[in-house]
Amino acid sequence: TDARLTGLAVLGGAPAFDRPRHVGRPNLGDRDRLLARIDGMLDRLWFTNGGPLVQEFEEAVASIAGVRHCVATCNGTLALEILIRAVGLTDEVITTPFTFVATPHSLRWQGITPVFADIDPRTHNIDPAQVERLITPRTTGILGVHVWGRPCAVDDLQAIADRHGLPLLFDASHGLGCSSGGRMIGSFGAAETFSFHATKFVNAFEGGAIVTDDDDLAERARLIRNFGFADYDQVRSLGTNGKMSEVAAAMGLTSLEARDRFIAVNHQNYDAYRRGLDGVPGVELIFYDDEEATTRQYIVVEVDESAGLSRDDLCQVLWAENVLARRYFYPGCHRAEPYVSEQGPDQLRMPMTDRLAAQVLTLPTGTGVSTADIEVITGLVRRAVSAGPALAAALPRRPGTPPAAVPVPPDEQPDGG
Ligand code: T4K
């Protein structure tokens, strides 16, 4: 027997962690501040519909993004859908296939066809050259995504949008608190959206926002968010219910207040991963630009052939150890329904996205993960890679079997530890 394989949980050893280490464990701000805000809300008996906490949250988010308007919503997906409506997009919109499926779904939900443009493998973001190639008379806009909070090629995309007279929007769900060229994400294009989902850098349990400097666009978005109501009985447009609740804003404000601590922890964790993975062949930690504001909310590695085992093999090894790494955004939105059925084979030729979707693994970080945890996790990765092909051959399941099939233990303690 091969000594390098002894004790690995995937081959029958005890797991390195007795409780799961998650990607996306929520960060919690000051509990007392949160409860005080909720108390105030209960006293006021004002729970939603633009209450004082939502207004305060909107002001804070607008100021971080460096824009005049923030329209807070019940989640990031509704922020996208409302923005798409408010801008008046129709027919076709060019976007990236390497994103959470909410991005193309929010277009399709409005009857728009998302046209996928392949990505730049270096940044994981939409490739401007591919965007320009795909513009047709049916194109009504461009929707970029700042994946992992690393900015899109904003200037190149803006130049293309201007050249063709198209609105440029960004899904900045990962981007609050990050900058591009020293300018904060949230202030690019015609408008951008944020997500404040539980797993995000700043969370409001569930929440989202549209941010923009365009007064008319903000006004249209506010109407659509509240059924089109201009006042108590005047409906001025088609609308939906996309409002953020006061309890969500209470969490959002408390989370915002703690953001310097979240950033410090994320940076510390990133450095621990960098040390732990230094010199491991075939496992590359993605870079964050030291010249920019970065939240480093995502620890992402690319696993290539020189690791000796595949990304899926590594994922399987880690899951057995209770390290619940995620394959975001496998297999790419162009291979998800309804897009894979609706669109022709041309649309499926996304070589960069396909390669990256097979290589990317997102690892646990955030305030729920300690430096000691990261030493264990990177130690496991080192071991797996050093055993490489021998380990891959010994794995109990066929390669490619989705690790997502492994159930999450239902009996977790609140501290997740
Ligand atoms: N655009 C982009 C680029 C996005 O990434 C997203 C959301 C959106 C748009 C849409 O925004 P929202 O409508 O969601 O506001 C998660 C999140 O649900 C989703 O918000 C996020 N992107 C996406 C990247 O990740 P799942 O299905 O992978 O989440 P889930 O439930 O598996 O949670 C991830 C991990 O976090 C798990 O290991 C468990 C842990 N967790 C999760 C929650 C909710 C906790 O420990 N506590 C919790 O409360 O999508």
Cα(404) to centroid of ligand 1, in Å?
14
pLDDT of residue 404: 46
Residues with CB under 6 A from ligand 1: 22-26, 75-77, 99-100, 102-103, 145, 171, 173-174, 195, 197-199, 208, 324, 328
Nearest alpha carbon to residue 102 among 175, 168, 193: 193
Q: Give the atom of ligand 1 at the shortest distance from the alpha carbon of 206.
A: 15
The residue nearest atom 19 of ligand 1, judged by CA position, is: 197
Q: Are 366 and 24 in contact (CB under 8 A)?
A: yes
Q: Tell me the residue type at 129.
A: A
Q: Are 186 and 172 in contact (CB under 8 A)?
A: yes
DSSP 148: G
Euclidean distance between CA atoms 223 and 208, whole angstroms? 16
Nearest alpha carbon to residue 353 among 156, 101, 99, 23: 99
Q: Where are the beta strands (DSSP E) in 304-410?
A: 323-324, 360-363
Euclidean distance between CA atoms 184 and 62, whole angstroms? 11
DSSP 244: P
Tokens 């209960």: give the residue.
Answer: 42
Write down the domain spans for the chain: 3-25+259-325+364-405, 31-257
Cα(200) to centroid of ligand 1, in Å?
8
**How deeply is 389 buried, as exposed, middle or buried, from its count of CB atoms within 10 A (0-12, 13-18, 19+)?**
exposed
Q: Give the atom of ligand 1 at the shortest distance from the alpha carbon of 147.
A: 3
The preferred substitution site among 99, 100, 406 for testing ligand 1, maximizing ligand atoms within 8 Å of CB, is: 100
Nearest alpha carbon to residue 125 among 107, 145, 103, 141: 145
pLDDT of residue 345: 65
3-state secondary structure 53-96: HHHHHHHHHHHHHCCCEEEEECCHHHHHHHHHHHHCCCCEEEEC
Q: Give the atom of ligand 1 at the shortest distance from the alpha carbon of 106.
A: 9
Q: Give the atom of ligand 1 at the shortest distance from the alpha carbon of 196.
A: 15
- Report H helices in 321-370: 339-342, 345-348, 351-357
Mean pLDDT, consecutive 10-residue stretches, the chain (417 aa), reads 87 95 95 98 97 98 98 98 98 98 98 97 98 98 98 98 98 98 98 98 98 98 97 95 98 98 98 98 98 98 96 96 96 93 77 96 97 98 96 78 44 39
- Three-class SS of residue 16? coil
Residues 6+ apart with CB under 8 A from 82: 71, 73, 210, 221, 224, 225, 240, 242
CATH topology of domain 31-257: Aspartate Aminotransferase; domain 2 (3.40.640)
Tokens 């609105």: give the residue.
Answer: 167
pLDDT of residue 343: 78
Residues in the chain: 417
63 — phi, psi (to 5°)?
-70, -35
Cα(195) to centroid of ligand 1, in Å?
10
User: Residue 208 is inside which H or E element, if any?
Assistant: strand 208-212
Nearest alpha carbon to residue 58 among 238, 239, 186, 229: 186
- Three-class SS of residue 142? strand
Nearest alpha carbon to residue 13 among 393, 313, 390, 320: 320
pLDDT of residue 2: 82
The preferred substitution site among 73, 199, 205, 319 for testing ligand 1, maximizing ligand atoms within 8 Å of CB, is: 199
The residue nearest atom 7 of ligand 1, judged by CA position, is: 100
The neighbour count for residue 169, using CB atoms within 10 Å, is 27
Q: What is the CATH number of domain 3-25+259-325+364-405?
A: 3.90.1150.10
Measured CA angle at 114 (ends 197, 240), to 5 deg = 50
The neighbour count for residue 400, using CB atoms within 10 Å, is 10
Euclidean distance between CA atoms 41 and 33, whole angstroms? 12
Measured CA angle at 401 (ends 398, 404), to 5 deg = 150
Cα(340) to centroid of ligand 1, in Å?
23
* Distances 48 to 44, 69, 72, 256, 330 between C-alpha atoms, Å: 11, 19, 11, 19, 36
